[in-house]
Chain A
């Protein structure tokens, strides 16, 4: 009586090529069924969620940010973007509470907001003060969600290196 190995081959027999076709066919069939199941139960549209913070007049003013960039506000009127930010003065003769407000206007390009220009401006601010996470966005009444979300995406930055993760939507008073 010969002793059989794990795969049914006798210990003394020469190694014969194993037939893996039945196994592979089983895998292919399973894959095909999974594909069919996925295609029938899912849709091509994935949804993404943007958390909102709504500014309100009754909100308490937040504590002043300790970094160099005190606040960042983006207004969107038609296709024109305006970035208003407050910087702590780094002049050696200035007091620690001295701040200066600056504004950068970004006119629309071909009737659409200049998102590339906005990204460059925000990256510049983020480089000055990476600890500043808050920014506010005030859209005009006629602006559509498509444009608002596109601007919010730029404000947020890529997932790997976010710019401003806490975005407040303001301009709700009118």
Chain B
């Protein structure tokens, strides 16, 4: 890679060695831009949270209300509203409905649900969100699509 000054050749890097280095850097940049993301997923304070995987590559939209459903509790825009164990049997959950009603200007809800919570819990959250006037609901998951 380095050329000495023996034989009257100017010392320094060999051009032949630099070209593949630039190629490798370009490939790594493309890989990183394709597979990494600058948007950070919300996390509950308890830390134990894992999203399900999806092949969807649809991007998140900005300005949405973020509802996070972990194994322990339900959070709306980072604020804990009710523990999962205390969710009522009814589909409409008042503790989720009231704060969502105050946020109706945002129009859209993103639901981040832990991969292991049962549908019985998630459907209460979704039904309550819809009852609060949010028609535009989306479920966020970790994209598993490859290059």
Whether, in the assembled complex, A51 has its beta carbon less than 8 Å from a beta carbon of chain B, the answer is: yes
A149-174 vs B, CB cutoff 8 Å, 1 = contact: the mask equals 11011001011000000000101110
Counting chain A residues whose Cβ lies within 8 A of the other chain, the interface size class is 35 or more
Question: In whole angstroms, how far apart are the Cα atoms of A28 and B115 in the complex?
Answer: 42
B15-39 vs A, CB cutoff 8 Å, 1 = contact: the mask equals 1001101100110110011011111
B123:A47 contact, CB within 8 angstroms = no
B127:A48 contact, CB within 8 angstroms = no
B56:A48 contact, CB within 8 angstroms = yes
Counting chain B residues whose Cβ lies within 8 A of the other chain, the interface size class is 35 or more
Question: In whole angstroms, how far apart are the Cα atoms of A169 and B130 in the complex?
Answer: 13
Whether, in the assembled complex, A6 has its beta carbon less than 8 Å from a beta carbon of chain B, the answer is: no
Whether, in the assembled complex, A97 has its beta carbon less than 8 Å from a beta carbon of chain B, the answer is: no
A47:B126 contact, CB within 8 angstroms = no
Chain A residues with CB under 8 Å of B57's CB are: 46, 48, 159
Whether, in the assembled complex, A20 has its beta carbon less than 8 Å from a beta carbon of chain B, the answer is: yes
Interface residues of A (CB under 8 A from B): 20-21, 24-25, 27-28, 31-32, 34-35, 38-39, 41-52, 54, 56, 139-146, 148-150, 152-153, 156, 158-159, 169, 171-173
Interface residues of B (CB under 8 A from A): 12-13, 15, 18-19, 21-22, 25-26, 28-29, 32-33, 35-41, 51-61, 91, 110-111, 113-120, 122-123, 126-127, 130, 136-145
